[in-house]
Chains A and B, each alone.
Chain A
Amino acid sequence: MSADNSMLVLIGLSVITAATPLVYAAIGELVVEKSGVLNLGVEGMMLGGAVGGFAVAHLSGSALLGVLAGMLSGMLLSLLFAFLTLHLRSSQVATGLALTLFGIGLSALLGQPLIGVAYEGIPTYAIPVLRDIPVLGTLLFEHDLMVYGSILLVVAVSFFLRSTRAGLILRAVGDSPEAAHALGYRVILVRYLATLFGGACAGLSGCYLSMAYAPMWAENLSAGRGWIALALVVFATWQPSRLLFGAYLFGGITILQLHAQAIGINVPSQLMSMLPYIATIIVLVLISRDRGRIRKNAPASIGQAFHPTK
């Protein structure tokens, strides 16, 4: 850390690390939902990614391999979900919930030998030149690569959905799979790909937790963050920019309430702990209260199974 150790920078750094796992998990789920699939198994896939990433990083000593393994673990779990819901057309809600329970149990089982293993964490990478900007340099340009990656990913997804042909097809599949099918698009394939992307993102989110945020493996490491990511997608009305804002708002208030407590501000700590949830919901509901926009952005066929012969 450079000379700018002012309190604001320190708080800012904590906020960014708290928000990053939410950004990854939520942006992945956003794409999944945009394709018309509701995968409630984010928490389970995060834990899969957390344990897979940590195990490989620990065994190989390579953070990069760990991150790849985390992504792959998340994708494997999402593949299971995709097969059950898209091929066998099981209920997406029930299967997603089952995937979360399965992920919690499986990660606990596989992670047993990793309990108590220390890992030094993903190295941070300061961007040359930019890091020397006073205050902002430290705050914005001295992170691990996964933090930069999360922002780039949101920008890329936003661009993909809005300005590419493939993004248009994905949205068509999510809004009206019948119409997309009639036009000759392969609805099931598109949904498979979207679900796998969501799995990869949840896996990344998980390995950010186990490799950078906490860095360690412990059972149920995600502690409910998968559910917060799911909620963020809805409250951000399926818009990547709002989602990013929501994740940072949530992370920000989480950290600020801890600071308020440590200073000794006289507010019940239970209330303080609720604050990030309440504030994030209220703010996102307020900025998204336009019903027309919600209708415009919400994938119309979300959660419904599709079969070409229906």
Chain B
Amino acid sequence: MFALPSLKATRIRKTVVVLAATLVSLGSLSAFADDHPTKVGFVYVGPVGDHGWTYRHDVGRLAIEAEFGDKVETTFVESVGEGADAERVIRKLAADGNDLIFTTSFGYMNPTIKVAKMFPDVKFEHATGYKRADNVSTYSARFYEGRAVIGTMAGMMTKSNIIGYIASFPIPEVVRGINAFTIAMRKVNPDAEVRVVWVNSWYDPGKEGDAAKTLIDQGADIITQHTDSPAPLQIAQERGVIGFGQASDMSAFAPDAQLTSIIDDWNQYYIDRTKAVMDGTWESVDVWHGIDSGLVGFAEYGPAVSEDVKAAAEVIKEGIIDGSIHPFQGPINNQAGEEVVAEGEILDDGVLLGMDYYVEGVQGSLPK
């Protein structure tokens, strides 16, 4: 009988303390509302340590921190599945008071739109999607422009005229890369061909390495990839052939073999968008920029790249930046040799976004 009241008293006291603490924190929040740091949240599809896609987004997040110091506060949630989990995570980030939330994978599109409706004051940025709202922007990069540059280099440098291409999934983004690479390669070397191996994974170092071995065994002397691990380049280094990195600079894994690497560079975009939120100038936009904006960057040329090849690559880069060169400018033939884009015509973004055929110069048939 004696214990009960005291227990009750403790519980009440605890409740009071919690309530008081909540009030104090609420009070302090509103008191300092004006100079509270801008909070930026990130949702990643893979682990930060994938050395590819997610890794580069996280480099962008760190760039925001470096730029604004304690005026920003960033958080991230990694390895978030593209299903039901995504909505929960995005909602949590919004409820936690983030002012700006980057959702960095295509599969987050619908959850992002849904949560954005519930939090009209929070700004959302969705990578690689196509659904927008007043508080949802979309952004992506024209990586195929980078592929046109490395395709040119490959066409000039191959001796066997066989290029090995390790691909992930047969989606338009990847097919577009293969085609841009091949078109540019055939412009400088009409005899060269691209052999594609699909590994059906974005990330499986063992399998990517096996695919590289396979292609080299079949005579490829240059390896390029649309998967995220440095394993193919490592194999190239080991076997004495050359190749291109993906998403980040992979020269540490292949100091002799890496010719250059297409780098996803979100840093400036992330800084600009955070700044816009801070200044109150943020607006919903649809961004699909390429080399000109710096979203598509390049690693430094490797030791195997001659001055001629460097010069040719720079010409393509500058041409793409000033608009005089377009990676998908006609005439373009499909695999059957039929002209699909007439001379002088340039494929529009709609066709590029739905690309589902191989161009002339690619071996094998596209899995559907």
Q: A-side interface residues toward B, CB under 8 Å? A: 7, 10-11, 14, 18, 21, 108, 111-112, 115-118, 121, 209, 213-216, 218-221, 223, 225, 254-255, 258-259, 261-266, 268-270, 272-273
Contacts and interface: CB of A to CB of B under 8 A. Distances in A.
Contact of B195 (A117, A209, A262, A273): A262
A255 to B, nearest CB: 6
Nearest to A255: B210
Contacts of A273: 198-200
A15 to B, nearest CB: 9
Given A268-B368, A269-B170, A269-B367, A215 B234 contact: yes
Nearest to A263: B218
27 contacts: A7-B218, A14-B214, A21-B206, A108-B49, A116-B51, A116-B252, A116-B253, A117-B252, A118-B253, A209-B205, A216-B234, A218-B51, A219-B49, A220-B203, A221-B205, A221-B206, A223-B205, A255-B210, A258-B211, A258-B214, A262-B196, A262-B363, A264-B363, A268-B367, A269-B170, A269-B198, A269-B367
Contacts of A259: 214, 217-218
Residue among A118, A261, A266 with most chain B CB within 10 A:
A261
B18 to A, nearest CB: 32
Considering the complex of A and B, which 4 residue pairs feature the smallest CB-CB distances, nearest first? A264-B364, A269-B198, A214-B205, A258-B214
B210 A223 contact: no
Given A254-B207, A264-B364, A268-B367, A218 B214 contact: no
Nearest to A9: B217
Interface residues of B, number: 40
- Describe A's contact surface by its main secondary structure: helix
A14 B196 CA distance: 18
A262 B234 contact: no
Contacts of A216: 205, 229-231, 234, 253
Contacts of B238: 121
A225 B229 CA distance: 17
Residue among B204, B206, B213 with most chain A CB within 10 A:
B206
Interface in B35-69: 47, 49-51, 55
B241 to A, nearest CB: 13
B281 interface: no
Given A108-B47, A116-B252, A269-B170, A218 B200 contact: no
Contacts of A269: 170, 198, 200, 367
Interface in B198-256: 198-201, 203-207, 209-211, 213-215, 217-218, 220, 229-231, 234, 238, 252-253
B240 to A, nearest CB: 11
A115 B49 contact: yes
B364 A220 contact: no
Contact of B47 (A18, A220, A263): A220
A263 B219 CA distance: 11
Nearest to A221: B205
A221 B203 CA distance: 9
Contact of B206 (A18, A264, A266): A18
B347 interface: no
A15 B231 CA distance: 17
B75 to A, nearest CB: 17
A264 B231 contact: no
Nearest to B208: A214
A111 B197 CA distance: 29
Nearest to A210: B205
Given A111-B49, A112-B49, A18 B217 contact: no
A225 B217 CA distance: 24
Contacts of B211: 258
Contact of B364 (A18, A265, A270): A265
A158 B208 CA distance: 33
Residue among B201, B210, B211 with most chain A CB within 10 A:
B210
Contacts of A268: 367-368
Contact of A7 (B210, B217, B364): B217
Given A216-B234, A223-B205, A255-B210, A10 B217 contact: yes
Contacts of B196: 261-262
A269 B51 CA distance: 25
Contacts of A263: 195, 218, 364
Contacts of B364: 261-266
A161 to B, nearest CB: 29
B213 A223 contact: no
A116 B249 CA distance: 10
A18 B252 contact: no
Contact of B234 (A14, A214, A270): A214
B336 to A, nearest CB: 14
Contacts of B164: 262
B365 interface: yes
Residue among B164, B205, B209, B211 with most chain A CB within 10 A:
B205
Given A219-B50, A262-B197, 7 more contacts: A108-B49, A116-B51, A214-B209, A216-B253, A254-B210, A255-B210, A264-B365
Contacts of B365: 264, 266
